[in-house]
Amino acid sequence: MQQSAEKVVEMQNVSIAFGGIRAVDDASLDLHKGEVVALLGHNGAGKSTLIKILSGAYKRSQGKIIIRGEEANIANPRDAKAYGIETIYQTLALADNVDAAANLFLGRELRTLWGTLDDVAMEAQAREVMGRLNPRFQRFKEPVKALSGGQRQSVAIARAILFNAQILIMDEPTAALGPEETAQVGELIKQLKQNGISIFLISHDIEDVFELADRVAVMKNGQMVGSAPVDAVTKDEVLGMIILGKCPPGATPGPGAMTS
Amino acid sequence: MTNEKTAEVAQKSEEGAFNRFIRATEIDTRLLGMIGALLLIWLAFHFFSDGRFLTPRNLWNLSVQTASVAVMATGMVLVIVTRNIDLSVGSILGFVAMIMGVTQISVLPGMLGSDSQFIWVIALLVGIVLGGMIGGLHGFVIAYLGVPAFIVTLGGLLIWRGAAWWVTSGQTVAPMNNTFRLMGGGPYGSIGEFWSWVIGIVACVVIALLAINGRRQRQRFNFPLKPMWAELFMVGTSWVVVMGAVAVANAYPWPVGIVKRHIKANNLNVEPSELVIAHGIAIPVLIAIGVGIVMTFITTRTRFGRYVFAMGGNPEAADLAGINSRWVTTKIFILMGMLCGIAGAISTARLNAATNAQGTLDELMVIAAAVIGGTSLGGGVGTIVGAMLGAVVMQSLQSGMVLVGLDAPLQNVVVGLVLVMAVWLDGLYRRRQG
C-alpha cells in the first residue's frame, strides 16, 4: 500500500466495561495519515463502543490513546474535537428542533464582538459547506426534524468536515441513505482521503468496505480478531473473521483470533 | 429530489392569499393563534360582564396582576424546554419574599436609617441573590446528583414553604418600604402619562431599527429578503399595538381619593374633579416587559440559550457536541430562582406585605402559562413571548370569571379545563405541522 509511515491514531490495549460486561477488551487499532480503515463485526461486537472511546463519548477504563505520536487525554467529546477528531454517529446526533446551521456549529458557535450568536455568519458558512455536499439543499430555516433522511445525513457529515477534521470517524454513514446518496458518500470519502484526512469507517456492507477502505479490522465479542490490508484478504476470509473469528494467513491476528 | 421540487412549486401556486401573507411576513402561526384565542376570551368576558372587561381600568389591573406570574413563566420555559419541571417556584417566591420583607423592615432600617433610599434596592438584590442560590442548589442536586427535577422541586415546594413560615414564625411582615412598594404598581407605582408616551415612542423606534438591522444582515449575506410591504406591515402593526397599549394605560385616571390626597400634599388649588392624572404604565409591568426582553435575548442570541434548546431537542446530541449539560441545567435553575426573587418583590410590593402563604399555587399558574404559551413538555420547544402571553391568558380567565360573577369552585374547574384543552389543541396543531 502507498501508506505514509506516519501514524495519526494508535489505540493500545483499550478496555471498557459496563457493569461487569467487557464491551471492549484489550483492543488495539491504528490509523495512518490519509488511510481509510474499516472496522467490521457483528452487532454488539464492540465497534461502536471502541470508536466512541476515541470520540470521547465513553471513557476507557484501561489502555492508551496516542494521537500523532503523543499520548492523548480524551475524557469528553470536547477533548476529542481539540485533537481534530470528528465523528458522524450512527444516530446522527442532531438536535432535531434547531436548524441546520445551529447543528453544524453546536458547541462551537460563531459569535459577534459582543459575545452574542452570529447566526447570519453561521448560516452563510453552513450554506457554503452544504452547497459542496448537497447542492440542492435549501431548507436552512427549518428544524432538521423536517428534513429527509438523506438531508439529515448530509447535515451530520457537513458538521464533521466543517472544522477541518484530521481524523474522521464514520459510524454507519450510509445506513439511512438510498443507493444514489450512498454513492455520493463514497465519493466524499475518496475525496477526503485525497485531502489527507484519515478515516475510521464502521460498516456492515462488505462491498462498500472493499471499495473504500485500505485496511479492514474485525472485532468479535469485544476483542480484536485481526486486521489486514484489503488486497491481502478475500471477502470470504473477512466474513470468516466476522462470523467465526478465524484469522486468515494474510491478516495480522489479534487477541480475539480463534486459536486452532 | 426533483419530485420534491415540483411538488413544492405546485404547492406554492396553489396556496391561498392567507398562506402567502404568513410566508411573507414570517409570522409564527402558533403565536397568531394564541393572540386570536386571547382576543376571543376578552370579547367573551366583555360581553358576559356587561362591558366591564375591556375597560382601561380592568386592562390596567390585568397587566399588573399578570406581572409576577409572567416573570416566572419566562424562566419556566427554559426549565420545561430541557425536559425538567419546577414545582417549587411558588414556595421559593414565598420564602424569598419573606426574607425581603424582614430585610427591609427589621434589618436595614437599623443599619441605614428608615429613610434610606438604598433599602429597596438592597432588599431586591437580597431577594434575587437568595433566589439564585436556592435555584442553584436545586439545579446542583438535579444535574450533578441525578435526582429527577420533579422530586427535587416537589421537595423544594415543601421545604421553602416551611422555611417561609419559619422565618417569622408565621407572622405577616408589613408594611413595606415606601420605595420598594413602587414595584407593586398602584397610582404611585406607575410612571404617568408623559413617560408612558416616551417609552411607547422609544419602543416604536427600537422596533423600526430592529427591522432595518435584520434587513441589512440579510442583505450582507445575500439571503432572501422579506417583501417591503411585509416589513412595513409588521412594523406598522407593532407600532399600533405598542401605542394602543400606552393609550389604554393613560386612559385610566387616578381614583378621586388619591387625587384629593395628592392635592393636599402638594397644596394645589384645584377641584379634585377637575384634576385628571393618568396612571400610565405600571412599574411591575415594565419590570415584566424588561425581564421578557432580557430572557428573549438570552434564549435567542446567546450560546447558553442555544444549548438549552439543543439539550431539549436531543440530550445525547448535546453531550456529544461537547456541551456541558450539567452546568447548563444548573444555570437554568439559578436563573429560575432569580426570577422567583423578582416576582417575589413584585407580589410583596403589590400586597404591601409578606405573608407565609405568598405564592401558594403559583407554580401551577406558571407551568400552565408556559404550557398554554406553547412550551412543549416533550422538550425542545417554547418561546418567552408565548409564555408571557400564556400568563395573560391565565390571568384574563381568572379576573374575567370574577367579573362575570362565576362561583369560586367553578373558576378552578374552568381553568383546569382550559389548560387541558389548550395542550390538546396544541398537540393537534403540532401533529398537523410535523
Express each pLDDT in B257-288 by its tens digit. Answer: 899 898 888 888 888 888 889 999 999 999 99
Residue B160 falls inside a structural domain: yes
Does the CB of B317 have a partner CB in chain A at under 8 Å? yes
The A62-67 sheet, strands edge to edge: A21-32, A7-18, A62-67, A70-71
B424 CB contacts (<8 Å, ≥6 apart)?
A: none
Query: Closest residue of A to B300, CA-based?
Result: A117
> Which of the residues A81, A98, A162 would you substitute to probe the B interface, choosing the one with the greatest number of B C-beta atoms within 10 Å?
A98
Reply yes or no on whether the pLDDT at A120 is more than 80. yes
- Looking at mean pLDDT, say which of A172-186, B59-73, B216-230, B272-286 comes out highest: B59-73
Task: Identify whether residues B181 and B308 lie together within a single domain.
Answer: yes
Residue B8 falls inside a structural domain: no
Question: Which of A77, A81, A98 lies closest to B310 in CB terms?
Answer: A98
Residue B272 falls inside a structural domain: yes
Contacts of A121 in chain B (CB under 8 A): 221
- Sign, CA torsion B145/B148/B149/B150: negative
What's the CA gap between B83 and B314, in Å, rounded? 10
- B381-427 confidence digits (pLDDT tens): 999 999 999 999 999 999 999 999 999 889 889 888 988 888 888 77
Q: Give the pLDDT score at B18.
A: 82
Beta-carbon separation of A120 and B318 below 8 A: no
Q: Give the pLDDT score at A4.
A: 53
Closest CA to A200 of A166, A168, A232: A168
Question: Which of B303, B314, B317 lies closest to A109 in CB terms?
Answer: B303
Q: Give the pLDDT score at B2.
A: 44
ipTM: 0.87
Task: Identify whether residues B147 and B287 lie together within a single domain.
Answer: yes
The band of A5, judged by pLDDT with boundaries at 50, 70 and 90, is: low
The band of B4, judged by pLDDT with boundaries at 50, 70 and 90, is: very low
| Percent composition of chain B: helix, strand, coil (DSSP 3-state, to 5) | 75, 0, 25
Does the CB of B316 have a partner CB in chain A at under 8 Å? yes
Q: Give the pLDDT score at B292.
A: 98
Looking from the CA of A97 toward its CB, the CA atoms found within 13 Å total: 22
Contacts of B301 in chain A (CB under 8 A): 116-117
- A23-52 confidence digits (pLDDT tens): 999 999 999 999 999 999 988 888 989 999
- B120-172 confidence digits (pLDDT tens): 999 999 999 999 999 999 999 999 999 999 999 999 999 999 999 999 898 99
pTM recorded for the entire structure? 0.90
Residue B346 falls inside a structural domain: yes
Q: Give the pLDDT score at A260.
A: 58
B281, amino acid identity: I
Domain boundary among the residues B228, B259, B281 is at B281
What's the CA gap between A249 and A251, in Å, rounded? 6
Domain boundary among the residues B242, B259, B281 is at B281
Rounded to a whole number of angstroms, the distance from the CA of A225 to the nearest CA of chain B is 29
Reply yes or no on whether the pLDDT at A92 is more than 50. yes
Task: Identify whether residues B213 and B296 lie together within a single domain.
Answer: no
Task: Identify whether residues B177 and B75 lie together within a single domain.
Answer: yes
Which chain B residues in 155-214 lie under 8 Å from chain A, judged by CB atoms? none
The band of B7, judged by pLDDT with boundaries at 50, 70 and 90, is: very low
- Sign, CA torsion B164/B166/B171/B175: negative
With 0-12 CB in 10 A as exposed, 13-18 as middle and 19+ as buried, what is B169?
A: exposed
Over residues A148-159, the mean pLDDT reads 88
Task: Identify whether residues B407 and B288 lie together within a single domain.
Answer: yes
User: Residue B131 corresponds to which cell in the numbers above?
Assistant: 433566589
Every domain range in chain A assigned CATH 3.40.50.300: 1-84+165-260
Beta-carbon separation of B380 and A96 below 8 A: yes
Q: How far is CA A210 from the centre of its chain?
A: 17
Question: Which of A55, A98, A120 lies closest to B309 in CB terms?
Answer: A98
What's the CA gap between A27 and B97, in Å, rounded? 59
Residue B150 falls inside a structural domain: yes
Residue B14 falls inside a structural domain: no
Q: Give the pLDDT score at B377.
A: 86
Q: Give the pLDDT score at B14.
A: 56
Q: Give the pLDDT score at B298.
A: 96
- Least confident segment among A184-188, B10-14, B185-189, B296-300: B10-14
Average pLDDT, chain A: 89
DSSP conformation class of B224 = P
Closest CA to B369 of B65, B127, B161: B65
What's the CA gap between A23 and A222, in Å, rounded? 5
Residue B12 falls inside a structural domain: no
DSSP conformation letters of chain A: ----S-EEEEEEEEEEEETTEEEEEEEEEEEETT-EEEEE--TTSSHHHHHHHHTTSS--SEEEEEETTEE----SHHHHHHTTEEEE-TT----TTSBHHHHHTTTS--B-TTSSB-HHHHHHHHHHHHHHH-TT----SSBGGGS-HHHHHHHHHHHHHHT--SEEEEESTTTT--HHHHHHHHHHHHHHHHTT-EEEEE-S-HHHHHHH-SEEEEEETTEEEEEEEGGGS-HHHHHHHHHH-PPPTTSEE-TTSPP-
Reduced to 3 states, what is the DSSP secondary structure of residue B278? strand
Closest CA to A74 of A64, A250, B133, A236: A64
Does the CB of B85 have a partner CB in chain A at under 8 Å? no
- B401-413 confidence digits (pLDDT tens): 999 999 988 988 9
Judge whether B403 and B52 are in contact, CB under 8 Å: yes
Reduced to 3 states, what is the DSSP secondary structure of residue B395? helix
Judge whether A39 and A29 are in contact, CB under 8 Å: yes
Beta-carbon separation of A93 and B1 below 8 A: no
- Helix B384-404 vs helix B56-81: crossing angle, to nearest 10: 140
- Least confident segment among A127-136, B114-123, B149-158, B346-355: A127-136
Judge whether B387 and B336 are in contact, CB under 8 Å: no
- Sign, CA torsion B102/B107/B110/B114: negative
What percent of chain B lies above the pLDDT cut of 70?
96
Task: Identify whether residues B87 and B142 lie together within a single domain.
Answer: yes
Task: Identify whether residues B431 and B320 lie together within a single domain.
Answer: yes
The band of A141, judged by pLDDT with boundaries at 50, 70 and 90, is: confident
Reply yes or no on whether the pLDDT at A1 is more than 60. no
What's the CA gap between B345 and A124, in Å, rounded? 44
Does the CB of B83 have a partner CB in chain A at under 8 Å? no
Task: Identify whether residues B304 and B399 lie together within a single domain.
Answer: yes
Reply yes or no on whether the pLDDT at B434 is more than 50. yes
Reply yes or no on whether the pLDDT at B209 is more than 70. yes
Reduced to 3 states, what is the DSSP secondary structure of residue B191? coil
| Partners of residue B144 on adjacent β-strands | none
User: Residue A155 corresponds to which cell in the numbers above?
Assistant: 447535515
What percent of chain A lies above the pLDDT cut of 70?
97
Average pLDDT, chain B: 91
Rounded to a whole number of angstroms, the distance from the CA of A258 to the nearest CA of chain B is 35
Q: Give the pLDDT score at B223.
A: 76
Task: Identify whether residues B89 and B178 lie together within a single domain.
Answer: yes
Q: Give the pLDDT score at B8.
A: 47
Reduced to 3 states, what is the DSSP secondary structure of residue B354? strand
Domain boundary among the residues B252, B281, B310 is at B281
Beta-carbon separation of A117 and B221 below 8 A: no
Q: How far is CA B72 from CA B87, B93, B278, B367, in A?
A: 12, 10, 28, 9
With 0-12 CB in 10 A as exposed, 13-18 as middle and 19+ as buried, what is A28?
A: middle
- What fold characterizes domain A1-84+165-260? Rossmann fold (3.40.50)
What is the count of structural domains for chain B?
Answer: 2
Beta-carbon separation of A109 and B313 below 8 A: no
Query: Closest residue of B to A128, CA-based?
Result: B221
Does the CB of B328 have a partner CB in chain A at under 8 Å? no
Counting one residue from A and one from B, how many pairs have CB atoms under 8 Å apart?
82
Beta-carbon separation of A95 and B380 below 8 A: yes
Reply yes or no on whether the pLDDT at B430 is more than 90. no
- B192-202 confidence digits (pLDDT tens): 999 999 999 99
Which chain B residues in 103-162 lie under 8 Å from chain A, judged by CB atoms? none
| Partners of residue A22 on adjacent β-strands | A17
Q: Give the pLDDT score at A218.
A: 93
Over residues B220-233, the mean pLDDT reads 84
Does the CB of A10 have a partner CB in chain B at under 8 Å? no
Q: Give the pLDDT score at A183.
A: 85
Closest CA to B53 of B401, B393, B409, B392: B401
Strands A85-88 and A167-171: parallel
Which chain A residues in 193-222 lie under 8 Å from chain B, judged by CB atoms? none
What's the CA gap between B224 and B170, in Å, rounded? 61
The CA-based angle B91-B96-B102, given to 5 degrees, is 130
Contacts of B27 in chain A (CB under 8 A): none
Beta-carbon separation of A77 and B321 below 8 A: yes
Q: Which domain holds residue B227?
A: 191-281
Reply yes or no on whether the pLDDT at A213 is more than 70. yes
Task: Identify whether residues B146 and B171 lie together within a single domain.
Answer: yes
Reply yes or no on whether the pLDDT at B78 is more than 70. yes
The band of A251, judged by pLDDT with boundaries at 50, 70 and 90, is: confident
Q: Give the pLDDT score at A258.
A: 79
Q: Give the pLDDT score at A204.
A: 80
Residue B33 falls inside a structural domain: no
Question: Which of A102, A117, A120 lies closest to B220 in CB terms?
Answer: A120
Q: Give the pLDDT score at A205.
A: 83
Q: Give the residue with greater pLDDT, B84 vs B22.
A: B84
